[in-house]
Amino acid sequence: MAQAMKLTCLDCGQVNRVPSDRVSAGAKCGTCGAKLVSNKAIEVDFATLQKAARNDDLPLVVDFWAPWCGPCRMMAPEFAKAAQELNGQARLVKLNTENYPQAGQAYGIRGIPTMAGFRGGREKARQSGAMPSTSIVSWVKDAV
């Protein structure tokens, strides 16, 4: 029997236990039915980010960004490509620091874009600056 992994639903915030062999096979939230793992970068709010970063067993990569930031806008399609490539290996989410300025303070974000990788309730790595999708994928696989 496969070991269970904890994954926070990015829609309703419920923490789910999912057998590790079902993570990339369309596992859904037991509360709201939303897919728990997506091949897209998902926009999250501050509360959901905190809960997922604290609880999830699957690596969580957060892109801290803002709509006025040119490099952030340049990196957005690259981050989306990386999410497709890392489907089932990590979840990629975006947090708009304009909407949630407390996130920047809570996580010590000094500049944007900044990516932070979380696993097992702890921040494992951080990278500032825009990157192409190939570099994002390599960074996630190596550091997170």
Q: Which residues are catalytic?
A: 69, 72
Asked if 44 and 52 count as a contact pair (C-beta separation under 8 A), the reply is yes
How many CB atoms are located within 10 Å of the residue 108 CB?
Answer: 10
**CB-based contact 98:68 (threshold 8 Å):** yes
What phi, psi does 4 have (nearest 5°)? -80, 140
Residue tagged 């960074």 (tokens): 139
The residues that bridge with 125 in the sheet, in sequence order, are: 117
Query: Which amino acid type is present at position 54?
Result: R
Helix (H) or strand (E) holding 82: helix 70-85
